[in-house]
Amino acid sequence: MFVVQKENRGKIIMSKRLLILEDGTVFEGEAIGANIEVNGELVFNTGMTGYQESITDQSYNGQILMFTFPLVGNYGINRDDYETIIPTCKGVVVHEAARRPSNWRSNMSLNEFLEARRIPGISGIDTRALTKIVREHGTMKASLVSPGDEFEHQMSQLKATVLPTNQVQTSSTLTPYPSPNIGRKIVVVDFGLKHSILRELSKRHCDVTVVPFNTSAEEILSMHPDGVMLTNGPGDPTDVPEALKMIQSILGQVPIFGICLGHQLLSLACGATTYKMKFGHRGFNHAVREIATGRIDFTSQNHGYAVARENLPKDLLITHEEINDHSIEGIRHRNYPAFSVQFHPDAAPGPHDASYLFDDFMDLIDQCHTVEVNQ
């Protein structure tokens, strides 16, 4: 099916761009950002703000990111809200890109930022219609291309595209580095680290060492950490088998806290399975229930995979669930000091309802240290 959908509302479009979906649907709009053509997995984010944090979130590695909120870029780009310095998303799709940002912190416009980071984008399309397509058919491959007479070639190229499976490798740091402080010693395993995780640990005076995703258990334990953090990251958790052996080896040796991809990897290491969701959870208002207390937190989320309830190992206790679809949002190991959550308690952007989980991690570390001293 070939359908051209336009939404320019009388604006003068200086340069056109097409968004092509693998089902044959085409959206025509205005080109923003870099003048290059890309393929990627199309996903949508429902957040009303926080576009800079989302674009620089490594969890979007290889994906074309569409924002459902109508106006994006109105407060520009600033030096404080980066989640990584070099973003790895493939492209950006918006209904309207603000041309003149207004905010005292703004250093550049969204368009200038995308150009500088070599990220193409498209504006002036009906993102409501696009969201409905993704919700109905699920995430799919898409292309951002220049209009021309080569549509059939562009479509065949898109359908032939094999999406990468090495997103974690291209997101993780290549070498260890410290974030020094005077408190508990934390090793952070970087699967696609958000800087906001480091900010939360820094608030708690943690002495942090960030290590690559493929660091061995022996290397981690040789640093004598008080705790290990498994970070967020992109892609399918089953594409990171080297992490599972490491987690299995440190489980019970040191307290563990996993976030997002780290949650999925901890679960897999304990014998659970994961599955790909139809269109995932990507936004900043996802309601999550803590099962033990009934407490409701509004959370920031960005994931396309989830831990399956079926055949969940008896060693894992479900601690949190999503209110709408009842997917697993948190687990705790029954025998070892290890827990994880699917959402982002660091919440940048998003509500800070769940930031207490970092304090829970600190308490878990202290409890384990007390037990060791008493023994």
Shared domain for 340 and 248, answered yes or no, is yes
Shared domain for 94 and 8, answered yes or no, is yes
Catalytic residues: 260, 344, 346
Shared domain for 252 and 335, answered yes or no, is yes
Shared domain for 258 and 327, answered yes or no, is yes
pLDDT at residue 150, as a whole number = 82
Q: What is the mean pLDDT of residues 275-301?
A: 96
Shared domain for 186 and 83, answered yes or no, is no
CA-CA distance, 282 to 83, in Å (whole number)?
16
pLDDT at residue 349, as a whole number = 87
Q: Among residues 131, 160, 189, which one ends one of the domains?
A: 160
Mean per-residue pLDDT over the chain, rounded: 94
pLDDT at residue 1, as a whole number = 39
Asked if residue 63 has pLDDT above 80, the reply is: yes
Shared domain for 27 and 173, answered yes or no, is no
Residue 364 pLDDT class (50, 70, 90 cuts) = very high
Shared domain for 69 and 86, answered yes or no, is yes
Q: What is the mean pLDDT of residues 13-41?
A: 93
Residue 346: CATH number of its domain: 3.40.50.880
pLDDT at residue 10, as a whole number = 41
Q: What is the number of structural domains in the chain?
A: 2
pLDDT at residue 153, as a whole number = 87
CA-CA distance, 340 to 247, in Å (whole number)?
13
**Percent of the chain's residues with pLDDT above 90:** 90
**Percent of the chain's residues with pLDDT above 70:** 95
pLDDT at residue 374, as a whole number = 62
Residue 372 pLDDT class (50, 70, 90 cuts) = low
Asked if residue 105 has pLDDT above 50, the reply is: yes
Q: Among residues 114, 145, 160, which one ends one of the domains?
A: 160
227 exposure class (CB count in 10 Å sphere: 0-12, 13-18, 19+): buried
Q: Give tens-digit pLDDT for 5-25.
A: 454 444 444 699 999 999 999
Asked if residue 277 has pLDDT above 90, the reply is: yes
Q: Among residues 160, 185, 211, which one ends one of the domains?
A: 160
Shared domain for 61 and 196, answered yes or no, is no
Asked if residue 30 has pLDDT above 60, the reply is: yes
* Bridge partners, 274 (sequence order): 307
Q: Give tens-digit pLDDT for 121-146.
A: 999 999 999 999 999 999 999 999 99
pLDDT at residue 369, as a whole number = 82
CA-CA distance, 18 to 284, in Å (whole number)?
28
Shared domain for 175 and 228, answered yes or no, is yes
CA-CA distance, 239 to 164, in Å (whole number)?
10
Q: Are 254 and 223 in contact (CB under 8 A)?
A: no
Least confident of 1-5, 175-179, 236-240, 267-271: 1-5
Binding residues for L-glutamine: 59, 233, 235, 261, 264, 302, 304-305
pLDDT at residue 3, as a whole number = 46
Residue 8: CATH number of its domain: 3.50.30.20
Nearest alpha-carbon partner for 126 in 282, 9, 42, 2: 9
Q: Which domain holds residue 125?
A: 3-160
Q: Give tens-digit pLDDT for 312-322.
A: 999 999 999 99
CA-CA distance, 197 to 169, in Å (whole number)?
19
Binding residues: 59, 233, 235, 261, 264, 302, 304-305
